[in-house]
Amino acid sequence: MKVGLIQSIRLPSQSIQIMAGMLTEHGIDPVALVSEAGLARDILHDPWGTLNGYQELAFQRLFWRATQQIPGIGFLTGLRYSLLAYGPLGLAVLVSRDVTEGLCTFAAMQGLGYALFEYDIVTQDDIAVAFVANDDYVPAGLMEFLHERLLGSALTFFRDMRQESLPVRLIESRLDRPRGWMGLEDRWQAEIVYRAPRSCFHFADGAGALPLPLANPSLAENYRRLCQNMLDTSPTHAGIVKSVYQLLMQSRGAFPSALEAAQALNVSERSLHRKLAETGTSYRQALDNVRLRRARELLDTTDLPMSEISDRLGFAEMASFSRFFRRVAGVPPSNYRKNGLRIVAASS
């Protein structure tokens, strides 16, 4: 995930909450670091909270500065990154057909993740044989922390995906660590080569073809569509379009009208409409995209009644919400939820 991209995509706040939990366990007040990173305190408790890539990066730097003297803190933090903490992206991986499909889904949608790494999947005959973490865009001051965290987060990621360990034959790590550090060879059941030129996880023969226990093709497709929509509606555009998307996605109550958005952006409403038209979009289209994203999130990840979802999205009545969802998604919201078999049901 390039630095130019993370500044605009909104990330779930679970990453901050995971690091805050580690701080608390080691007697460090996370509130002070949250404030120093320029974040509101409620980010620590809001399950629907989001932040942009620069805010995430700022907090990671502060976290590492405060904890780097604690042995293995990056690895121990990485162990907390369960697949469910990745939101819809994690769910899309969990219900994929096999290991290869799950990893390829993650790599394709990695802009919704938390790392500065760019992940590549090495395949042979369309089967994954290795998982590579490229660190070209990792700031020098975070290189050690992120590579250390990767050794923990990848362990949890692979285990969550299969509901048991994924056979790995060799791990290359860029970390400068002694053999046996943190007992990782035993944890991974694999040889680890430190001071390698890259960080790479080499799978055992056939591991990429292993089926996933929660595989569900229709649900996997629904979650992949949701993730793609989240990427598509993230404000990766420039100028006024980016500003409008940021404003809409940061709204936690009623969405602003075009006039209110214009006032917040310090332009006239006429100028707002004109500038958006020049980029081939409109305020209604941006609002529809963000509403659809949030509607899918609520339908996929909560059991809220349709009436409450309608209220949260700012519709005057549930019928209006149903008409909107049918228009932009092609199916009524009730059908979308019914056909998108829930991960909770699949895993029970």
User: To 10 degrees, what angle do helices 269-278 and 283-301 make?
Assistant: 80
Cβ atoms of residues 70 and 90 within 8 Å: no
Q: Bridge-partner residues for 203, per DSSP?
A: 168
Closest listed residue to residue 56, CA positions, set 138, 161, 157, 177: 138
Question: What is the percent of the chain where pLDDT is above 90?
Answer: 42
Assess whether pLDDT exceeds 60 at residue 225. Answer: yes
Residue 348 burial class via C-beta count within 10 angstroms: exposed 0-12, middle 13-18, buried 19 and up? exposed
Q: Taking every pair of C-alpha atoms in the chain, what is the biggest distance, in angstroms?
A: 65
Identify whether the C-beta of residue 220 lies closer than 8 Å to the C-beta of residue 96: yes
**CB–CB of 249/263 below 8 Å?**
no
Stretch 205-211: mean pLDDT, rounded? Answer: 97
Once rounded to an integer, what is the mean pLDDT over residues 288-296? 83
More confident residue, 239 or 33: 33
Q: Any idea what DSSP says for residue 267?
A: S
Q: Which candidate, 84, 156, 164, 167, places its Cα nearest to that of 128?
A: 167
Between 100-104, 115-119, 306-310, the lowest mean confidence (pLDDT) is in 115-119
pTM (whole model) above 0.95? no
**CB–CB of 203/169 below 8 Å?**
yes
Whole-number Å distance between alpha carbons of 169 and 190: 5
How far apart (Å, rounded) are the C-alpha atoms in residues 212 and 99? 7
pLDDT in tens, 107-123: 888 777 656 788 899 99
CA-to-CA distance for 219 and 202, rounded, in angstroms? 29
In the predicted model, what is the mean pLDDT of residues 163-189? 96
* Whole-angstrom distance, CA of residue 103 vs CA of residue 123: 11
5-50 pLDDT tens trace: 333 444 556 788 899 999 999 999 999 998 898 888 888 887 656 6
pLDDT at 7: 39
pLDDT one-digit tens code per residue, 252-269: 667 889 999 888 888 889
Residues 192 and 152 sit within 8 Å (Cβ to Cβ): no
Average pLDDT over residues 213-218: 94
Model confidence band, residue 291 (pLDDT cutoffs 50, 70, 90): confident
What residues contact 58, with CB distance under 8 A and at least 6 apart?
37, 38
List strand residue ranges (DSSP E) for the chain, in order: 10-12, 50-52, 118-124, 127-134, 168-172, 191-193, 199-203
Top mean-pLDDT range of 51-60, 104-113, 235-244: 104-113
Q: What band does 70 get if pLDDT is binned at 50, 70 and 90?
A: very high
Q: Work out the mean pLDDT of the chain and round it to a whole number.
A: 84
| Least confident window among 35-44, 75-84, 185-194 | 35-44
Quick one: how far is CA 298 from the chain centroid? 16
Q: Lowest mean pLDDT: which of 14-18, 51-55, 69-73? A: 51-55
Euclidean distance between the first and the last CA atom of the chain, given in angstroms as a whole number: 34
Residue 4 confidence (pLDDT): 36
